[in-house]
Amino acid sequence: MNRHTSTWIRDAVNTEIEMSSRIRLARNIKGVPFTHMLEDDEDLEALGGLVSKMLPGYSLASLDGLSVQDRALLVEKHLISPNFAKRGTRVFINGDEDISIMLGEEDHIRIQALGTNTTLEALYDKAGAVDDTLEEKIEYAFDEQYGYLTACPTNIGTGMRASVMLHLPALAATNKIQRFHNNLTRFGFTLRGIYGEGSEPLGSVYQLSNQVTLGFEERVIINNLSELKNRLIEEERMARQHLMTLDTLDAVNRSLGILQHAYKLSLKEASMHLSNVKLGLDLSYIELENFNFQEWFQLIQPAFVKERVNTEEYDSPGIAAESARAALMRELLGGK
Amino acid sequence: MNRHTSTWIRDAVNTEIEMSSRIRLARNIKGVPFTHMLEDDEDLEALGGLVSKMLPGYSLASLDGLSVQDRALLVEKHLISPNFAKRGTRVFINGDEDISIMLGEEDHIRIQALGTNTTLEALYDKAGAVDDTLEEKIEYAFDEQYGYLTACPTNIGTGMRASVMLHLPALAATNKIQRFHNNLTRFGFTLRGIYGEGSEPLGSVYQLSNQVTLGFEERVIINNLSELKNRLIEEERMARQHLMTLDTLDAVNRSLGILQHAYKLSLKEASMHLSNVKLGLDLSYIELENFNFQEWFQLIQPAFVKERVNTEEYDSPGIAAESARAALMRELLGGK
């Protein structure tokens, strides 16, 4: 298993506001009970064998063979869901780590395509190509009237969830984000923290995604989402104009100074400072080469930090992690 | 008038805990009413003429000829008292700016000698030499039983105030400073902020001085004060041992990062960060060349900062000052 960040995120140096996108398709096998009703692993094992043959370029990881830490790394890389890390069985990942197929998530099959500097359309084509390949040998649970049948009714229809990760520090600072969230919900979309449902937004990074999967074609949902995304980006740009103040210049530079010098950083604080530095770069208040907001934001997450911890040196794992996170920031930002 | 810091403080690079010392002698002319009882300037004018002749190497400044800003600079350089800046008449300052003679402070004559990397004894000799010179031509108000007579009874006797400036961040952090203050008061000494009576201590810099001037010879007071000073330094050293933690390592380095990067700094905040960085250097948690705590602590004071302000650029003088203070720190600490 690759314990480093994925290629696609390492190359994501110059993104602004729009960070990355993701398409996820939920599919189930006709005539087989949904995952939570399965009495044994037989059906998923058979499915795993089939997918292995159909997708020869993918590496297969059995969740049984992965430690809690390995699973957490996959979650932070967005290759598996937090839910799948707890209860999943097998995951297929391509070489570039921008496509994953989870077997035995809430649905039998979940196909994900993700990436940066790309479009939802392109990702839908990618995920769709995998979907088409699998459909050659697998008969999906499909209803002429409703579409794809899924374990949870919120996914019935297209079975598609499209998401865009957005860096919205100005909207977050001015508390406009809550108003947008409320409006979006009424149109069947949602705006929430980047690491899955219910998580608190860190570093002003939000995930815009569709909630409604039924009654619209995939490309219609993607179009609507893209329009909302552009609207949000435009609003963020306008809000940033009002943030062009001495206070912001001061705050973003202090954040840089703290990241370059601190010896202890909680996830929450590091996220905030990284977000500030990114804003400072976007506003040309700061100049920095090789700053990679997306990758570094991933590297400060708990599992990635744990990879660097020498627990014996410290009183508690918490302190060891905060210390390792600070050392990483100093190293990446050229502090001492 | 020299608008820069004095030579003696610019050379004070390597002081640790003990910063600078000062001796002040209060004298009055026999047969002349105390300053606040004087009806006109005649006596002080005559005195000024006399001192000019006796101390030819000194430059004389008439307070009338100085702007509010110039007077404030002299206060921050410790060459005149805040009280004298408001109501004084003439001040004589030697070339090294380590001796000043105020005419028409609370007392007719106040002789001050100050410096760093020196002893109270040496400063007492310096001030005493000036005192002896003046006494050749001036008959002081002196009582065989009490000693020198002064406008305020708290100065009667020796007329001497000896002070040592101490950097006590560890005692301040552990709140031990208040206990010391209470004990010292009982022995006729006091511990307070550096810029004169009643001022809030900034940057954990305290002034230890004698309150009692009557009943003890000068050298006895100086000896007692030196012993107390050594005791405080010892206590500060011990308290620092308990501060050798990751939290302190983190705090002092963050302070360095903030001073190197901030674009707005209040006096209070800049003092605190400078104090932290100085502590970090003393604990070998930070390495920095040419760091001059004493001089920089003076340079962040309001009048010194005002020298650097371009008021037209900013909405308010307060913001302009905070911005200029931050720019100074970035410049001195090699930030951007």
Q: At residue A199, does pLDDT exceed 90?
A: no
Token pair of A8 as six digits: 């696609």
Higher pLDDT, A86 or B14: A86
Does residue A194 have a known ligand-binding role? yes
Say what the pLDDT of residue B178 is. 84
Q: At residue A210, does pLDDT exceed 60?
A: yes
The C-alpha angle with vertex A241 and arms to A238 and A243, in degrees rounded to 5, equals: 120
What does the buried/exposed string (b/e) look like for A264-297 if buried means 16 or more CB atoms within 10 Å of the residue's CB? bbebebbbbbbbbbbbbbbbebbeeeebbbbbbb
Does residue A163 have a known ligand-binding role? yes
Q: Per-residue pLDDT tens for A275-286?
A: 999 999 999 999
pLDDT (average), residues B185-208 = 80
B207: contact with A, CB 8 A cutoff: no
Out of B247, B258, B323, closest to residue A254 by CB: B258
B317: contact with A, CB 8 A cutoff: no
CB atoms A246 and B323 under 8 Å? yes
In whole angstroms, what separates CA A267 from the centre of its chain?
17
Q: At residue B195, does pLDDT exceed 60?
A: no
- Which residue does chain A place closest to B264, by CA atoms? A250
Say what the pLDDT of residue B198 is. 54
CA–CA gap between residue B98 and residue B221 (Å, rounded): 22
The C-alpha angle with vertex A250 and arms to A248 and A256, in degrees rounded to 5, equals: 105
Mean pLDDT for all residues in chain A:
92
Q: Beta A90-93 vs A59-62: how paired, if at all? A: antiparallel
In whole angstroms, what separates CA A238 from the centre of its chain?
26
At residue A336 the predicted structure's pLDDT band, cuts being 50, 70 and 90, is: low
pLDDT (average), residues B47-64 = 93
CA–CA gap between residue B169 and residue B279 (Å, rounded): 7
CB atoms B257 and A257 under 8 Å? yes
B256: contact with A, CB 8 A cutoff: yes
Say what the pLDDT of residue A196 is. 46
pLDDT (average), residues B111-140 = 96
At residue B311 the predicted structure's pLDDT band, cuts being 50, 70 and 90, is: low
pLDDT (average), residues B69-74 = 96
Q: Per-residue pLDDT tens for A67-95?
A: 999 999 999 999 999 999 998 899 999 99
Closest CA to A275 of A249, A256, A250, A257: A256
Say what the pLDDT of residue B58 is. 96
- Best residue in A244, A246, A277 to probe B by mutation, most B CBs within 10 Å? A246
At residue B316 the predicted structure's pLDDT band, cuts being 50, 70 and 90, is: confident
Q: Which amino acid is at A133?
A: T
CB atoms A258 and B258 under 8 Å? yes
Beta bridge pairs of residue B100:
B93, B112
pLDDT (average), residues A99-109 = 96
Closest CA to A57 of A101, A114, A27: A101
Q: Which chain A residues are Cβ-neighbours of B256 within 8 angstroms?
A: 257, 261
At residue A181 the predicted structure's pLDDT band, cuts being 50, 70 and 90, is: confident
Token pair of B139 as six digits: 């008959």
Out of B246, B262, B314, closest to residue A253 by CB: B262
Percent of chain B's residues with pLDDT above 70: 97
Q: At residue B39, does pLDDT exceed 90?
A: no
Say what the pLDDT of residue B208 is. 95
Q: What's the burial of A246, exposed, middle or buried (CB within 10 Å: 0-12/13-18/19+)?
A: middle
Counted across chains A and B, CB pairs separated by less than 8 A come out at 58
Q: Which chain B residues are Cβ-neighbours of A264 within 8 angstroms?
A: 246-247, 250
At residue B196 the predicted structure's pLDDT band, cuts being 50, 70 and 90, is: very low
pLDDT (average), residues B123-134 = 97
- Closest CA–CA distance from residue A295 to any residue of chain B (Å): 23
- Closest CA–CA distance from residue A258 to any residue of chain B (Å): 5
Mean pLDDT for all residues in chain B:
92
CB atoms B253 and A263 under 8 Å? yes
Q: Per-residue pLDDT tens for A286-320?
A: 999 889 999 999 999 999 999 999 766 677 888 99
Out of A246, A260, A314, closest to residue B257 by CB: A260
Q: Are A302 and A267 in contact (CB under 8 A)?
A: yes
Say what the pLDDT of residue A46 is. 92
At residue B336 the predicted structure's pLDDT band, cuts being 50, 70 and 90, is: low
The ipTM, to two decimals, is: 0.89
In whole angstroms, what separates CA B269 from the centre of its chain?
20
pLDDT (average), residues B117-124 = 96
Q: Which chain A residues are Cβ-neighbours of B260 within 8 angstroms?
A: 257, 261
Q: Per-residue pLDDT tens for B212-261?
A: 888 889 999 999 999 999 999 999 999 999 999 999 999 999 999 999 99
Strand (E) or helix (H) holding A102: strand A99-103
Q: At residue B310, does pLDDT exceed 80?
A: no
DSSP state of B195: S
- Best residue in B258, B261, B283, B285 to probe A by mutation, most A CBs within 10 Å? B261
Q: Which chain B residues are Cβ-neighbours of A336 within 8 angstroms?
A: 253
- Which residue has 């830490």 as its token pair? A69
pLDDT (average), residues A240-249 = 95
CB atoms A264 and B250 under 8 Å? yes
At residue B199 the predicted structure's pLDDT band, cuts being 50, 70 and 90, is: low
- Closest CA–CA distance from residue A237 to any residue of chain B (Å): 23
